[in-house]
Amino acid sequence: MKYIDITYAEKVTELLPALDKGVFMTTKVGEKVNTMTIAWGGINLIWHKQVFIAYVRYTRDTYDMLQHTDEFTISVPSNNNLRKELGICGTKSGRDIDKIELCHFNLIDGRVVNTPIIKECEMHYECKVIYKQAMEPNSIPKDVLKRNYANNDFHVIFYGEIVDSYIIKGE
């Protein structure tokens, strides 16, 4: 395997369209590893730090895990080649099944954080949580509220400082 270091924003023109289709956000607490599909987020600058911003609903197992860890990884599939797995990880809960096993993912240790990355993906961001923020329902436009939060299942916004970013090529 060959690691190719990238700057946090170097591949943003590839990340954003991939994010729209879904990327994997992985967490680890103790020996438990869970991944979920996220399609809302992005890269930004705050406090002179490069951050990946991810939106996680309170009801997700990933939210519970993020209450016990301060890091996560983002693994970006290339060429939309993991559609089935993105579907599984976006609809199934890590409380009920082992999504890593079900999707036959191979995990690779993070280079900086303790949370692994998904080998089947090419682009990766390792992040340390520097801030979290609950959404303020009264600040959400009514049409968005109706379309996305009819059951009041709001998101918490996690700001993860990008501490490493790279592409993996080959075996």
Q: What is the dihedral of CA 122, 68, 53, 81, to 10 degrees?
A: 30
pLDDT digits (tens, 9 = 90+) for 51-94: 999 999 999 999 999 999 999 999 999 876 899 999 999 998 99
Across the range 24-37, mean pLDDT stands at 97
Local confidence band at 127 (pLDDT 50, 70, 90 cut-offs): very high
Domain spans in the chain, listed from the N-terminal domain onward? 2-169
Which 3 state secondary structure label does DSSP give 167? strand
The structure tokens 């943003």 sit at 12
Q: Is the pLDDT of residue 7 over 70?
A: yes
Which 3 state secondary structure label does DSSP give 111? coil
2-169 CATH pick, 1.10.260.40, 2.30.110.10, 3.40.50.620, 1.10.10.10: 2.30.110.10
Whole-number average pLDDT of the chain: 94
- pLDDT for 123 equals 95
